Amino acid sequence: MTRFGKVAVLMGGSSAEREISLLSGGGVLAALKSQGIDAHAFDPAERDLVELKREGFARCFIALHGRHGEDGTVQGALELLGIPYTGSGVMASAIAMDKVMTKRLWVAEGLPTPRHVVLAEGEQDASHTRRVPDELGLPVIVKPPHEGSSIGVTKVVGYSGMRDAVALAARYDAEVLCEEFIDGEEVTCPVIGEGETARALPVVRIVAPEGAYDYQNKYFTDEVKYLVPSGLPAAEEAEIQRIVLAGYRTLGCRGWGRADLMIRAADRKAFLLEMNTSPGMTGHSLVPKSAAAAGIGYETLCVQLLALARLDGISVGGPRRGAATEG
């Protein structure tokens, strides 16, 4: 394990998901230490990233969630510092963090994702918001495009609820994303690796009380059931894994990620909702649950992800991909 050198586990940060990031980072830190790795906690909200270079850190495990951690900004800083990091690079992180851009790419590639309407900053008045249910139907999901963990998300069941839902989402983002509601089962599917060698882990089926898979139920109750094996027909699970891998590769993701999907009850069609490039690693998180079903324990998973750390286009200890070599 000494080959990893001194490792920083980036956790906390300044996003609305700080609390969850501290839980994720704490779990990762303990796991890496248990495997004999020289790992240390590092909170970018409390320390300047330049200290990573000054203190001789050789790699970073990114356990940050949300803005300034999962959106390409920290990744860009680590690129400039020359310190390899876990997860996707700058561009893929930035795109995946923006649910609107993600959907545009998926639609362009013919991948299934719910129909949507984007309300720009000047289009959030009553006249504009009232038209959304006319186009998408009811219920409709209203959310900020750059947040995670169900923060700022509302399921609107009537026209009268649109105004408050849009106002809530607008507290977090200038734009507001409105999505067609897919009535059915919620599932998630992690991916490990890059390009053609990336592989999808087992699908996790999520059964929440009254369908309320919200921030509280995600992290702070034991009311949600996570079924893995999912219990889905083999062909259905294989199709979900196929479109998840396609969605992951379309965005240019690497290292690891987790896609969230809905399976429409009417015809069992799966729809991609979003791609998480720095998924949770808490006791309630879904990547560890899926990995366990594939025979990968939490500590082993953390070490495997750390081993995949690199810079954009550069493998640790190797040449830049695609670079000409002398000879």
Residue 321 predicted with pLDDT over 50: no
For residues 213 and 289, membership in a common domain is answered with: yes
Parent domain of 51: 2-86
Segment 160-186 mean pLDDT:
95
pLDDT in tens, 94-152: 999 999 999 999 999 999 999 999 999 999 999 899 999 999 999 999 999 988 657 89
For residues 190 and 299, membership in a common domain is answered with: yes
The answer to whether residue 288 is domain-embedded is yes
Pairing relationship of beta strands 7-10 and 39-42 according to DSSP bridges: parallel
For residues 150 and 289, membership in a common domain is answered with: no
For residues 129 and 278, membership in a common domain is answered with: no
**Confidence (pLDDT) at 320:** 43
In the chain, the number of structural domains is: 3
For residues 136 and 76, membership in a common domain is answered with: no
- Closest-CA residue to 276 (of 246, 315, 304, 247): 247
Residue 277 predicted with pLDDT over 80: yes
Reported as half-sphere exposure (CB side, CA atoms, 13 A), residue 37 has a value of 31
For residues 239 and 288, membership in a common domain is answered with: yes
Domain of residue 37, CATH code: 3.40.50.20
For residues 129 and 212, membership in a common domain is answered with: no
For residues 73 and 11, membership in a common domain is answered with: yes
**Confidence (pLDDT) at 216:** 52
Domain of residue 165, CATH code: 3.30.1490.20
Q: How many CB atoms lie within 10 A of CB 137?
A: 11
For residues 245 and 172, membership in a common domain is answered with: no
Q: In sequence order, what DSSP letters do the residues of 78-96 get, joined into one string? A: HHHHT--BSS--HHHHHHH
Q: In sequence order, what DSSP letters do the residues of 155-204 get, joined into one string? A: EE-SGGGHHHHHHHHHTT-SSEEEEE---EEEEEEEEESSGGG-EEPPPE
Among 180, 215, 235, give the residue marking a domain's end: 180
**Confidence (pLDDT) at 24:** 96
pLDDT in tens, 250-265: 999 999 999 999 999 9
Q: So which residues are the catalytic ones?
A: 17, 149, 219, 258, 260, 274, 276, 280
For residues 218 and 291, membership in a common domain is answered with: yes
Segment 163-185 mean pLDDT:
95
Report the DSSP beta bridge partners of residue 225.
207
* Distance (Å, whole) CA 230 – CA 204: 5
Cα distances from 294 to residues 148, 171, 200, in angstroms, run 26, 40, 10
